[in-house]
Amino acid sequence: MDLFSTFFNIPVLMQSLPQLMNGLLVTIGIGATSIIAGLIGGLFLAVLRLYAGPVVTGLVRAYIDVFRSIPLLVLLIIVYYALPFVGIRLSPFFSAVTALTLVSAAYTAEIFRAGIEAIPKGQFEASAALGLSNRYIMTDVILPQAIRIVIPPLTNNCINVLKDTALASVVAMPDLLKQATQAQALSANPTPLIGAAVIYLILLLPMVRYVAHLEKRFSRGRS
């Protein structure tokens, strides 16, 4: 067998394509749910870390440090295989979403914190002088400016979350990688894995290019 018949076997690829597409839908579902939950949780954690009392701030900092340090694969195994021993049993989908969200929220919190701290203090003082409450200072003045700053790193984090969905295969989740592995076993040919890699590339490459565009655009705006 030559290189093309082994790794780029078109008949095998076409036969496995419906299975790969089903896996892609699962991957997108896990990724989108985790990204949205991570953004909401990360913003909440960032605000708590910046403006809550010392006890809450310490707990949030500990959460961020722990979940930025623990390998996602280890966390996923703990959520799916260990939690049932304490009476918490999650489906493969929610196990994957929970693990990805916990890690994504920790990284997102740091991104939002850096964005908020980058806003000049004069913005806070001017808003307070206008009589705005803390809530409206944050929602109407600070966050719109901070979000503009953090869009590139947030998009990078979203890309990482989508790539990390491949780890969901360890809990028998029929995501793109799991389906590709099963198709490879059925066909005794690695072409489905190459097909999965191409699908990941098609999905993520536009996002990577978009991040580069945003970074150039915002760097010109700051200059």
Domains of the chain: 3-222 (1.10.3720.10)
What digits encode the pLDDT tens for the residues 99-131? 999 999 999 999 999 999 988 888 888 888 888
Whose CA is closest to 108, among 159, 153, 58? Answer: 153
Q: What is the mean pLDDT of the chain?
A: 89
Rounded CA-CA distance 199/145 in Å is 35
Provide the pLDDT for residue 218: 67
State the amino acid at position 144 in one-letter form.
Answer: P
* SS3 label, residue 12: helix
Q: Which residue has the tokens 């949780």?
A: 41
Rounded CA-CA distance 79/9 in Å is 38
Whose CA is closest to 197, among 172, 171, 211, 177? Answer: 177
- Considering all CA atoms of the chain, what is the largest pairwise distance in Å, rounded to the nearest integer? 76
- Is the Cα torsion angle 194, 31, 214, 50 positive or negative in sign? negative
Provide the pLDDT for residue 79: 93
Contacts of 176 (CB under 8 A, 6+ apart): 20, 23, 24, 26, 27, 165, 166, 196, 199, 200
Specify the long-range contacts of residues 214-220, CB closer than 8 Å, at least 24 apart. Answer: 214/151, 214/152, 214/155, 215/152, 218/148, 218/149, 218/151, 218/152
Provide the pLDDT for residue 220: 62
What digits encode the pLDDT tens for the residues 145-172? 888 888 888 988 999 999 999 888 888 7
- Is the Cα torsion angle 79, 85, 89, 93 positive or negative in sign? positive
- pLDDT means per 10 residues, the chain with 223 residues, are 80 92 94 95 93 93 95 93 92 93 96 91 84 83 86 89 89 86 90 92 88 73 53
Q: For residues 111, 113, 118 and 124, what is the CA-based torsion angle, rounded to 10 degrees?
A: 150
For residue 109, give both structure tokens: 């919190």
- Can you give the pTM of this predicted structure? 0.87
